[in-house]
């Protein structure tokens, strides 16, 4: 309750602050200046993003946004002489007269510059995000291998959260709609930062961050670094994901958005939900209806030693909420959000900027599927059909503040809070076919969970001198996953055609048969970072020395109480089910009549605290020669101490200190082209959950996840070569090849009997290639084709792995052999049309390990999304968007591959020999959104 209250209080305080900011949208404090608005475009009328507009003989400037718009503070009663520069255009100097045109925007037209395009260095503060033009401009200028996506591209897609967004980045795909796969490597090989601070893991059963908890509307840009540099977090091999939330607007923003969604599997159709629902579910928070009974907590430590009367009395206090109840037909999904912000100028060039956003959403989703299992000789031993009924309520709040003391010093406070409650009812019907006589059954599970993220980052940027910069940040992050009462009940058909449940004695209850789980997973992370950059010259060439340190402390608290229903009779008991309501089994009458009790399932229960302290120090040089060569090189020292402290049992401690060198050599024959060669070392460390030796049962997939306390950290050697060509603003053609060698990579393996475990392989190697293109089609020579933009990316991956001394030509667990992404967009005036395609090739979902165990693969899916948007009204303040997500709605299929060796490269599905073991069928989602700018 204390956690819930503190988060609710922080949310309320945030709302009050936002209300105050809304009232603060008043006149600028400095009456000696006047705010002028303008737009920069080229001679064809195309907006120019990233143009710098500087008032001569001052430190005041502005940068044009993706639509060419800018704001500038000029002296009120005099003319204003400015210079305007942009890459690829001729420099322009002109005089503005604010008093003459104070009610009309200034239009500045730039002429294209032929010949060699020199990089422009300006003293105005340049925004490094928001538009694809600026993302590519930064990518071109940076001394790193990276790919990114910007806010204006996100707006043109139907993406609702960060999980959707990341699959648009070259070389990336998404699993389970939330976990990011980069260069075919699974989620454990990635790390993520938001607003300069590391993000902790959100998952109770793996090392991963669930990106679907971050709304796409809050994102300004995302950059994925694919080569290690000393100033990046060293714990990655696939990519370091750098997320920036919405930046401070250069002009007043006030937007209200409303969207309605239709799902083909769900909307206007029947729905089922748990028998116990909270009265506050729609707010995203739990009440006490799903909490452990107070009487059980009272007797918890010595419950097994109590007399039978107390055990049955306590068992009766648990809610008999197994099964489901009917609900009203599903209405369309709904979300509403508001975003406001502005930048205010005061005397002496001081500047205060802010942006805030609030949002709420409610949705339902029905997913059908099947769960099958087969023996090594292809004999089916289990079959079932499954339907998952899920409803979600979520809300978020963002508040970013910035204050510039002068042109050289700025402070920023960035805050994000997101909370989502999900309630699932899963129903299964099938038969156990492992014996001579099939055993039909019905089964149900209900589970409610609350997931969230709270992050606050205080940042400082200080230009100490013209050649020295100090950056620092302090951060706090909190992720949580609460599931207060998951219920599972399976009933077998008896000889009379009815259903029953046989219970074992209280020494051997089973979670899959009749049980309930109460779990809590809370992680807090405290971090700090600073870096100092010093620019100097060798001859006439600019050089850079950069040094810094990052440190963070993780504190994780995990509690899992798994209870199974059992008989107080030493020989067990069989309870017949009521034909009219078969899941209504554990009534007080049945508990008394059949002497039923709850009993702790020891190997499914745990209670531990995880602590980790990580400190990274680095030194880096960036050397330039002859205007064309740049070498960015250095090393990081990474010290990591990790402790897992169970309430009972032996603690686990891991200590590592690694020196991790890296270097990137860039050859730039001219400003539109780069050749990059990179080499580095990085690490990959086990997560707390992977070390914790307890079992977690996933009902929806029918797997048991188990940890391994003997895991060790993996060390990776990375080599990359990339060619980049930037034909024009917002365009790119790039090609890369890469190689990685892993010592002791961590694999998730299938040990049989539905058990998935973690294991260090001996070594592995990975090699592949990437290609990306974004090109306007104006080169085709027609005005119509100039309104089209083509985008595409492709990644190919291959490799091998050595496990238990045996080397095989097989990809690592979680890898896809290829990734494909493509898009085609059309823009004319106020209308935009976008068609998007995505596919990840068949991946090794879980490696078979142990005698007779088989690899489990996941089929590739073709995903097509589309969106049409149009701006209305004379002022163009009203925008409508119609989007479609996953038009093909192909099923997610996991399969056993028969007829080939375990290390075969033939991973594709063969319907004549292979067998589907898990299948989930999502629907197509249609969404209509309306946004109005006040």
CA-to-CA distance for 678 and 232, rounded, in angstroms? 14
CA torsion angle 323 328 332 336 (round to 10): -90
pLDDT at 731: 86
384-416 pLDDT per residue, tens: 999 999 999 999 999 999 998 877 888 999 999
DSSP-assigned beta bridge partners for residue 579 = none
pLDDT at 850: 62
- Whether 106 and 38 have beta carbons less than 8 Å apart is answered as yes
CB atoms < 10 A from the CB of 405, how many?
A: 13
Identify the CA nearest to 233 among candidates 712, 767, 680: 680
CA-to-CA distance for 454 and 477, rounded, in angstroms? 6
CA-to-CA distance for 701 and 370, rounded, in angstroms? 9
- Whether 76 and 104 have beta carbons less than 8 Å apart is answered as no
- Whether 763 and 742 have beta carbons less than 8 Å apart is answered as yes
CA-to-CA distance for 108 and 95, rounded, in angstroms? 11
CA-to-CA distance for 657 and 644, rounded, in angstroms? 18
Cβ neighbours of residue 467 under 8 Å, at least 6 residues apart?
A: 534, 535, 536
Identify the CA nearest to 179 among candidates 158, 201, 159: 201
With tokens 């590592």, the residue in question is 656
With tokens 């899992």, the residue in question is 560
168-224 pLDDT per residue, tens: 888 887 777 778 888 878 788 888 889 889 888 777 667 777 888 788 888 888 888
Identify the CA nearest to 691 among candidates 652, 640, 746, 749: 652
Say whether 157 sits in a helix, a strand or coil: coil
Exposure string for 838-849, b = 16+ CB within 10 A, e = fewer = bbbbbbbbbbbb
As given in the structure block, the two tokens for residue 437 are: 């006589």
Diameter of the chain measured on Cα atoms = 97
- C-alpha to C-alpha distances, 640 to 85, 188, 228, 616, 634, nearest whole angstrom: 46, 17, 18, 9, 20
Q: How many CA atoms lie within 13 A of 465 on its CB side?
A: 6
- Whether 680 and 228 have beta carbons less than 8 Å apart is answered as yes
Sign of CA dihedral 736, 737, 743, 749: positive
- Report the relative pairing of strands 253-263 and 146-150 from DSSP bridges: unpaired
With tokens 């060439």, the residue in question is 541
pLDDT at 118: 33
**pTM, entire model:** 0.83
**In terms of C-beta density within 10 A (0-12 exposed, 13-18 middle, 19 or more buried), how is residue 121 classed?**
exposed
- Residue 290 CA to chain centroid, in angstroms? 28
Say whether 271 sits in a helix, a strand or coil: strand
Sign of CA dihedral 430, 427, 178, 750: negative
First-to-final CA distance of the chain: 39
Identify the CA nearest to 914 among candidates 901, 900, 890, 895: 895
CB atoms < 10 A from the CB of 445, how many?
A: 27
Identify the CA nearest to 607 among candidates 736, 487, 694, 670: 694
As given in the structure block, the two tokens for residue 315 are: 């068992």
Identify the CA nearest to 50 among candidates 113, 118, 134: 134
Q: What is the DSSP string of 711-729?
A: ---EEEEEEEEEEEE--ST
Say whether 275 sits in a helix, a strand or coil: coil
- Whether 879 and 930 have beta carbons less than 8 Å apart is answered as yes
Element housing 339 (H / E): strand 333-345
pLDDT at 16: 42
- Residue 156 CA to chain centroid, in angstroms? 19
Say whether 81 sits in a helix, a strand or coil: strand
As given in the structure block, the two tokens for residue 607 are: 């209670």
- Report the relative pairing of strands 351-374 and 271-273 from DSSP bridges: unpaired
pLDDT at 120: 33
Stretches where the chain sits below pLDDT 50 are 1-30, 102-103, 114-129
Identify the CA nearest to 443 among candidates 700, 704, 753: 700
pLDDT at 4: 43
CA-to-CA distance for 477 and 243, rounded, in angstroms? 14
Identify the CA nearest to 844 among candidates 887, 814, 818, 807: 814
Query: What does the chain come to in residues?
Result: 934
As given in the structure block, the two tokens for residue 236 are: 């990655």
- C-alpha to C-alpha distances, 303 to 310, 519, 566, 600, 764, nearest whole angstrom: 9, 19, 13, 9, 48
pLDDT at 750: 79
Say whether 51 sits in a helix, a strand or coil: coil
Sign of CA dihedral 42, 45, 49, 53: positive
DSSP 8-state secondary structure symbol assigned to residue 200: P
Q: How many CA atoms lie within 13 A of 372 on its CB side?
A: 17
């Amino acid at each position: 309750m204390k956690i819930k209250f503190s988060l609710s209080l922080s949310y309320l305080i945030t709302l009050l602050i936002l209300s105050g900011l809304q009232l603060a949208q008043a006149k600028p404090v400095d009456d000696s200046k006047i705010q002028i608005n303008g737009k920069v475009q080229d001679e064809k009328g195309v907006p120019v993003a990233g143009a710098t507009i500087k008032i001569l003989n001052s430190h005041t400037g502005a940068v044009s946004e993706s639509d060419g718009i800018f704001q500038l503070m000029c002296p009120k009663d005099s003319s204003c002489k400015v210079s305007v520069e942009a890459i690829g255009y001729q420099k322009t100097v002109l005089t503005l007269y604010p008093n003459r045109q104070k009610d009309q925007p200034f239009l500045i037209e730039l002429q294209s510059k032929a010949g060699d395009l020199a990089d422009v260095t300006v003293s105005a503060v340049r925004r490094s995000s928001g538009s694809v033009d600026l993302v590519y401009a930064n990518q071109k200028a940076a001394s790193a291998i990276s790919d990114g996506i910007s806010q204006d591209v996100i707006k043109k897609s139907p993406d609702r959260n960060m999980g959707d967004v990341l699959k648009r980045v070259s070389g990336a795909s998404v699993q389970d709609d939330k976990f990011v796969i980069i260069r075919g490597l699974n989620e454990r090989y990635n790390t993520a930062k938001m607003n300069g601070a590391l993000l902790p893991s959100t998952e109770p059963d793996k090392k991963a961050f669930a990106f679907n908890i971050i709304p796409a509307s809050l994102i300004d840009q995302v950059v994925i670094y694919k080569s290690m540099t000393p100033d990046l977090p060293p714990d990655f091999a696939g990519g370091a994901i750098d997320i920036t939330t919405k930046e401070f607007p250069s002009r007043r923003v006030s937007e209200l958005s409303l969207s309605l969604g239709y799902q083909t599997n769900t909307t206007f159709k029947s729905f089922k939900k748990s028998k116990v629902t909270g009265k506050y579910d729609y707010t995203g928070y739990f009440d006490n209806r799903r909490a452990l009974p107070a009487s059980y907590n009272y007797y918890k430590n010595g419950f097994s030693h109590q007399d039978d009367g107390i055990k049955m009395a306590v068992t009766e206090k648990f809610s008999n909420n197994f099964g489901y109840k009917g609900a009203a037909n599903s209405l369309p999904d709904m979300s509403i959000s508001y975003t406001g912000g502005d930048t205010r100028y005061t005397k002496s060039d001081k500047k205060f900027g802010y942006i805030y956003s609030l949002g709420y959403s409610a949705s339902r989703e029905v997913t059908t599927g099947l769960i099958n299992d087969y023996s090594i000789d292809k004999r089916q031993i289990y079959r079932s059909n499954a339907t998952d009924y899920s409803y979600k309520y979520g809300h978020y709040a963002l508040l970013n503040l910035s204050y510039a003391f002068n042109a050289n010093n700025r402070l920023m406070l960035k805050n994000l809070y997101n909370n989502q409650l999900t309630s699932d009812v899963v129903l299964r019907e099938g038969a156990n076919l492992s014996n001579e006589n099939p055993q039909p059954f019905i089964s149900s599970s209900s589970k409610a969970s609350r997931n969230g993220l709270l992050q606050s980052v205080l940042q400082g940027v200080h230009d100490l001198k013209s050649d020295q910069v100090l950056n620092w940040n302090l951060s706090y992050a909190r992720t949580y996953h609460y599931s207060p009462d998951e219920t599972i009940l399976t009933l077998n058909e008896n000889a009379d055609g009815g259903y029953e449940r046989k219970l074992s004695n209280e020494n051997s209850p089973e979670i899959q048969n009749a049980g309930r789980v109460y779990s809590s997973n809370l992680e807090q992370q405290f971090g700090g970072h600073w870096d100092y950059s010093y620019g100097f010259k060798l001859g006439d060439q600019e050089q850079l020395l950069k040094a810094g340190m990052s440190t963070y402390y993780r504190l994780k608290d995990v509690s899992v109480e798994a209870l199974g229903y059992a008989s107080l009779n030493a020989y067990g008991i069989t309870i017949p089910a009521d034909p009219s309501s078969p899941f209504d089994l554990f009534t007080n009458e049945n508990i008394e009549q059949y002497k039923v009790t709850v009993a702790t399932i020891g190997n499914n229960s745990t209670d531990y605290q995880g602590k980790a302290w990580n400190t990274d120090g680095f030194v880096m040089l960036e050397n330039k020669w002859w205007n064309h060569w740049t070498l960015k090189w250095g090393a990081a020292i990474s010290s990591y101490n990790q402790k897992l402290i169970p309430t009972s049992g032996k603690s686990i401690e891991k200590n590592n200190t690694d020196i991790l060198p890296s270097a990137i050599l860039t050859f730039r024959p001219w400003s539109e082209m780069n050749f990059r060669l990179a080499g580095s070392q990085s690490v990959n460390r086990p997560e707390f959950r992977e070390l914790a030796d307890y079992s977690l049962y996933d009902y929806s997939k029918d797997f048991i996840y188990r940890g391994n306390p003997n895991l060790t950290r993996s060390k990776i050697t990375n080599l990359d070569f990339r060619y980049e060509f930037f034909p024009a603003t917002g365009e790119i053609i790039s090609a890369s090849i890469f190689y990685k060698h892993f010592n002791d990579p961590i694999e998730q393996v299938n040990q049989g009997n539905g058990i998935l475990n973690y294991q260090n392989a001996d070594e592995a190697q990975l090699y592949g290639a990437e290609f990306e293109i974004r090109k306007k089609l104006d080169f085709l020579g027609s005005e119509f084709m100039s309104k089209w933009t083509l985008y595409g990316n492709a990644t190919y991956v291959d490799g091998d792995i050595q496990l238990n001394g045996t080397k095989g030509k097989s990809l690592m667990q979680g890898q896809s052999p290829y990734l494909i992404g493509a898009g085609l967009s059309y823009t004319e005036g106020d209308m935009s049309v976008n068609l998007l395609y995505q596919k990840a090739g068949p991946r090794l979902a879980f490696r078979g390990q142990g005698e007779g165990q088989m690899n489990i693969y996941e089929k590739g899916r073709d995903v097509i999304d589309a969106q049409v948007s149009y701006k209305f009204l004379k002022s163009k303040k009203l925008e409508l968007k119609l989007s479609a997500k996953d038009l093909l709605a192909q099923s997610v299929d996991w399969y056993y591959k028969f007829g080939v060796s375990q290390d075969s490269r033939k991973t594709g599905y063969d319907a004549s020999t292979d067998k589907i073991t898990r299948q989930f069928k999502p629907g197509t989602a249609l969404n209509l959104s309306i946004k109005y700018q006040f």
